[in-house]
Every structure is written in C-alpha cells, then in structure tokens.
Chains A and B, each alone.
Chain A
Amino acid sequence: MEAILEGFKNAIYLLLSFDKEIYSIVGLSLYVSLASTLISSLLAIPFGIILGIKSFKVKKIIVRGLYTMMSLPPVIVGLVIYLLISRSGPLGRLGITYTPIAMIIAQICLVTPIIAGGIYNGTKEKGEEIKNLAYTLGANKIQTLFLLIKELRVYIFSSIVTGYGRAISEVGAVMIVGGNIKGHTRVMTTTIAMLRNMGDYEMAIAIGIVLLSLSFIINSLLYKLQQED
C-alpha cells in the first residue's frame, strides 16, 4: 500500500514537472487513437447507417459477422496485421512495421466494427422511420443521409466514444505491430505494461493517471450529451 501511495505522489510530481518523456508518450497515444477513430468513423458511419436501413439477402450474415468482429481479440488482430506488413508478408514492401501507421491500421481494424455495430443498432431502431419521413417530405438521397446522421447523432457519438475508448486503452495489437520503441511507437498502455515489468511504478502510475483522466473527460462529455438529448 505504501508503495502505491508513494508511486501516486511521485506520479503527480512527474506530471506537474512536465516530464518530456511522459508528454511525448501521451501525445503519440492521442495521435494514434484519434487518427484511427477518425478514419474508423468515416468508414463506419455510412456502413452502419446503410446496414440499418437497407434490406438485402446477406444482411443477416453481415450483421453476425459485424457482431463477431466487435469482440475481436486485439492480439489476434495485431498478429494478423503484423504478418501482413512484416518484411516477408504480402505488404512488406510498404515498410511500415514498427511505425505509428501500423498501429493506426491495427486500431482501425479493432475500432471500425465497434462504431459500425453501435450505429447499426441505433439505425435499426429508428432509421426506417426517419428515412420514410424524409422521403415523404421530399428529401433526396443526400438530404436523407444528412437527416439520418443528424437524428441519430446520439448513437453515432456514443459509438465513436466507445470506439475511441477501445483505441486508447488497447495494448495487445499496438504492442505487436508497434514494438513499443522509445520515442517512436511507445504509447501509454504499452509503457505501463513495460514499466510494470521493470518495477517502475511511479512512472506507470503517472501514465495511468493521464489515461484515466482522458477516459474520464471523454465519458463526461458523452454523459453530458446524452443528458442534453
């Protein structure tokens, strides 16, 4: 218990002293998570909405596949991406192994199904009604899509936040494809895992506090939006 409290005190000191290493790790974590969430959102929003409002033959299979992908084990995703981008892999020529790009790709694979699944569930509930309303008021396809996004904004936003939560807290996939290289691919979660192995609890707790604070800020934002709507 004493060690934890000591670690906690030192962590606050480290944070207030604006330790360069901590802040570069935090910066890279934010960059990788935000970039992957943004790209995932661009893919998942139209996909989730279209899946929710359209009826077609293989829809049930696609939905089942989507739900399965929502719970993909990160280490499996990391391993597959690693095999694809490693030197001997089919995408080895790109030379992106152990780079933030590889980490972003791995997170996109994990986050896109989560966002798409959340949006699909919201759209399934209300999408048909909104689409019919737009149609009977004279909206064209683009106007209908915009109306759907606007009306389903709570589902979309909460799905994005859930996806972001997954991205920023993820450790397995980014460890495999990023390699946890200091100053290059070291993010908060991989640092915490590494520091624990090294017994450096002060730094681990400091980064843990930042990670928790970021989660708290994001969840507060989500809660506020849900209250408003």
Chain B
Amino acid sequence: MNLNINNLQKYYEGQPVLNIENLTIQAGSLLGIIGPNGAGKSTLIKTIAGLIKASSGSIYYDNNKFSSKIQKHMTLVFQKPYLLRSTVFNNIAYPLKIRNVERKEIEKRVIEVMDFIGIESLKNQKAWTLSGGEAQKVALARAIVIKPSLLLLDEPTANIDPNSILVMEEAIKKFHKENNSTVIIITHNLGQSKRLCKEVAFMNKGKIIEIEKTDRLFNSPKHSTTKKFIEGEIII
C-alpha cells in the first residue's frame, strides 16, 4: 500500500505534537521510525491507522482517503498488546472471523501463521498465561494472519528478551518478503532498525527530520540532530 502524507498536523490542548509537511511511503517499503520519546512517532502511526484524527492535513492510501475498506487492509501491533480472554488460537483467528472467512480456512491459516512464527505449541494455551515475549508473538501472528497490505508496528519488541526479539524480526522480514506489504515499524532499538529496515526516518518534535536508506542514515546522517541521536548524545 502506497502512503502519501501532506501537511499533517496534530495538536493536543493547543500544543503541536505532529507536523509532517510531506511524506511518501512507497508500497512494499519496510520503513523504520526512530527518534526520542515524545517525538510524535506513536501519534504518527496511530494517525495512519485511523485511531487518532489529525487536526489538519491528509493521508492518502493508494490515492484514497481513509475508509472502512482501507481499515480492513491494515493492522497495528501495539507495544503492550491486548490479548482476548481466550486461547491463542482464538486470538489469532479473530481478524479472520470478523471477515467471515470459512471455518476450515480459518483453521488452516491460523496453523500456518503459528508455524510461521514458531508458536504452534501455544495453540490451546489461554492468552493470560503467556509470557511477554509469547504474547507479543501472538499479537504479531494475529496482525499478519490476514496478510495486510499495511502492517504498522509500534515498538513491538520493546519489552521482550533478545531471543524473542530476533524471532520477531525474522518473522517480520519473512512476512515482508513473502507478501510485499508495506511495513512501518517504530523502534527505540537502533540495531533493530539497521537489521530490519530498508529505510529509516528520524523524527523529533513532531517532524520528520530525515528519511534515508538505512545505511546512509546511520553512516552519513545529513542533519546534526540525527547524528547526535545516533551517537547517543543528548538532544535538546
């Protein structure tokens, strides 16, 4: 899915939290968004997902405005995912059920995606008995089971162990490769954005400061604030 963002602004109680003049994300991109806390990353991704209404500006999805049809082709994984009070299987099956997919097909696709992420052993486990890493994998499985054209990930590996992080990254990479979907991931883990993303955008104070190919952004950032952030210096 192609994304075109123009003059997007969001204000909270009169304070600007998002101000993006122009941002184009090509279909099939795997874009990482990095930046300090409060930079507006989550606001941007939630605005793209339709959860937050922008104060002004527009987002076009394949040249269309947001609609329920667009909503059905995108999913978002939250930093702290909410799992339904049911089994892992039912959690992953939910997006298919609400799309009226046949029961046999649901069974097939849920098993496929569980196998894809390596959580097939959790099939009948109750969601509330899962560890943080397992819960995050289930949330990812639930988001990709419908093979969305746009997958949005809001710090999906923020609170999980290194091994689970690698498993999640591999699954995201594989999903992107096999489906050529657009994937946008917010991360505080610079190593992760290097390993995973083709392009990285650096955000600060609600603005996209710089967007570049991953290697170029990390090796020769154009903007001094980007450089400071990458080098771990304090940004004011």
A129 to chain B, nearest CB (A): 5
Which residues on B sit within 8 Å (CB–CB) of A140? 68, 98
B53 to chain A, nearest CB (A): 12
**Chain B 77-109 residues near chain A, CB threshold 8 A:** 78, 81-82, 84-85, 94-95, 98-99
Which residues on A sit within 8 Å (CB–CB) of B49? 135-136
Which residues on A sit within 8 Å (CB–CB) of B84? 147, 150-151
Q: Is the CB of B51 within 8 A of A132?
A: yes
Please report whether the interface of chain A is mostly helix, strand, loop or mixed according to DSSP: helix
CB-CB under 8 A for A136 and B68, given A151-B84, A151-B85, A229-B85? no
B94 to chain A, nearest CB (A): 6
A126 to B80, CA, bound (A): 13
A133 touches B (CB below 8 Å): yes
B234 to chain A, nearest CB (A): 33
B22 touches A (CB below 8 Å): no
Q: Mark A131-155, 1 if CB is under 8 A from B, else 0.
A: 0110111111001000100110000
B130 to chain A, nearest CB (A): 16
B151 to chain A, nearest CB (A): 11
Chain A CB count within 10 A is highest, among B50, B51, B74, B94, for: B94
B37 touches A (CB below 8 Å): no
Contact of A137 among B50, B68, B85, B98 (CB under 8 A): B98
B76 touches A (CB below 8 Å): yes
CB-CB under 8 A for A135 and B94, given A151-B85, A229-B85? no
A contact residues, total (Cβ < 8 Å): 16
Q: Is the CB of B142 within 8 A of A137?
A: yes
Chain B CB count within 10 A is highest, among A132, A135, A137, A147, for: A137
CB-CB under 8 A for A138 and B71, given A132-B51, A143-B98? yes
Q: Mark A109-143, 1 if CB is under 8 A from B, else 0.
A: 00000000000000000100110110111111001
B contact residues, total (Cβ < 8 Å): 23
B208 touches A (CB below 8 Å): no
Q: Is the CB of A129 within 8 A of B68?
A: no
B222 touches A (CB below 8 Å): no
Q: Is the CB of A135 within 8 A of B82?
A: no
Q: Is the CB of A138 within 8 A of B98?
A: yes
A137 to B76, CA, bound (A): 7
CB-CB under 8 A for A137 and B75, given A151-B84, A229-B85? yes
Nearest chain-A residue to B142 (Cβ)? A137
A136 to B82, CA, bound (A): 12
Q: Is the CB of A136 within 8 A of B75?
A: yes
Which residues on B sit within 8 Å (CB–CB) of A147? 84
Which residues on B sit within 8 Å (CB–CB) of A151? 84-85
B146 touches A (CB below 8 Å): yes
Q: Mark A208-225, 1 if CB is under 8 A from B, else 0.
A: 000000000000000000
A132 to B82, CA, bound (A): 9
**Chain B 93-149 residues near chain A, CB threshold 8 A:** 94-95, 98-99, 142-143, 146
- The 11 listed contacts between A and B (C-beta, < 8 Å) are A129-B82, A133-B78, A135-B49, A135-B50, A135-B51, A135-B71, A136-B51, A136-B78, A138-B74, A139-B98, A229-B85
Rank and list the top 4 A-B pairs by shortest CB-CB distance, nearest first: A136-B76, A138-B72, A137-B95, A129-B82
Chain B contacts to A: CB under 8 angstroms: 49-51, 68, 71-76, 78, 81-82, 84-85, 94-95, 98-99, 142-143, 146, 152
Additional A-B contacts beyond A137-B75, A137-B95, A138-B72 (16; CB < 8 A): A129-B82, A132-B51, A132-B78, A132-B82, A133-B82, A135-B49, A135-B51, A136-B51, A136-B75, A136-B76, A138-B71, A138-B95, A138-B99, A150-B84, A151-B84, A229-B85
